[in-house]
Amino acid sequence: MFDAKIKSEVLKEAVDAINILVDEAKINVTKDELHIRAVDPAHVAMVNFKLNKKAFEDYKAKECELGVDLDKIKEILKLVKSGDVIHLKQDEDKNRLVIRFGNLTRRMSLVDTAGMSDPKMPNLEFSTKATISTGELRRAVKASENVSDHITLMVSPEAFEVASKGETDSVDLRLPKDLIEELDCKDSTSSMFPLNYFSSMINAVNTPKVILHMAENYPVKMEFEIAEGAGWGEYLLAPRIENE
């Protein structure tokens, strides 16, 4: 059973964060929160996402699974006005999700969750942690888009750096330690990532800062909050190894 009301801005933020990797998702519902964990079709990236009941205007639920088509929900959200409160209710008898806002009601069939995987979070040990401005990362990504299809993240005890190098052009961003909110790094690390994935992730985040966990030639973990701390998410992105 699931019956809840949520502000349109919060729902949009949550859907955008997950939809960059998958078109459909299995929502694990409990009496206290929603939890989604999914891997993109290419198995390059993972999202792990939780939304506490405090993020909702009203929340009544019992443990269940909801398979949702995120593309359909995004289309519905295009009709929503700013400030609208959206009523989401599971119709168990007809296996569908009923979405109401304003004078509009949309009934959407739920997706069968039987074929959806429940990926486990890999046990990773990171050597560095940096809290970085989302805006600065977006600037570096934007500047890199016409330069290369990959981006390199570098962390040292003195600075955090982003670099992208093509055949003729290059882009570099350097943030010294005094301009970073948090930098925990004993040994310098560097890893390269596919730009299209990293760009989608940082552009989906709607917070002033993100926390990056890294190690040498290792996946990057990007942590972020939504709904003023009532929601939390993380992305894992596999590195691109240059000699492959």
Find the CATH number of the domain harbouring 92.
3.70.10.10
Q: Shortest CA distance to 12 belongs to which of 97, 85, 66, 111?
A: 85
Task: Please tell me the distance from the alpha carbon of residue 231 to that of residue 9, in angstroms, as a whole number.
Answer: 13
* 94 and 162, same domain (yes or no): no
The pLDDT of residue 244 = 47
* 11 and 105, same domain (yes or no): yes
Q: Is residue 96 part of a domain?
A: yes
Q: Is residue 120 part of a domain?
A: no
- Residue 50: which domain range? 2-109
* 136 and 231, same domain (yes or no): yes
Count: domains in the chain: 2
Q: Is residue 118 part of a domain?
A: no
* 156 and 85, same domain (yes or no): no
pTM: 0.92
* 154 and 232, same domain (yes or no): yes
* 92 and 133, same domain (yes or no): no
Instruction: Burial-class residue 108 by CB neighbours within 10 Å (0-12, 13-18, 19+).
Output: middle
Structure tokens of 32?
A: 């206290």
Amino acid letter, 1: M
Q: Is residue 156 part of a domain?
A: yes
* 148 and 91, same domain (yes or no): no
Among 42, 74, 109, where does a domain finish? Answer: 109
Q: Is residue 74 part of a domain?
A: yes
Q: Is residue 140 part of a domain?
A: yes
Q: Is residue 123 part of a domain?
A: no
Among 74, 109, 144, where does a domain finish? Answer: 109
Q: Are 238 and 50 in contact (CB under 8 A)?
A: no
Q: Shortest CA distance to 127 belongs to which of 218, 211, 209?
A: 218
* 81 and 167, same domain (yes or no): no
In three-state secondary structure terms, 218 is coil
Which residues lie across from 232 on neighbouring strands? 50, 225
| Local mean pLDDT, 10-residue blocks, the chain (244 residues) | 96 94 96 96 95 96 96 94 93 96 94 87 93 95 93 96 93 93 93 96 94 95 93 95 60
Length of the chain: 244
CA distances from 135 to 59, 131, 141, 142, 210 (A): 33, 12, 10, 10, 10
Among 109, 138, 169, where does a domain finish? Answer: 109
Q: Is residue 102 part of a domain?
A: yes
Q: What is the CATH number of the domain that holds 171?
A: 3.10.150.10
* 54 and 21, same domain (yes or no): yes
Backbone angles phi, psi at 12, to 5 degrees: -60, -45
Structure tokens of 21?
A: 């990797």
Amino acid letter, 235: Y
The pLDDT of residue 242 = 63
* 88 and 135, same domain (yes or no): no
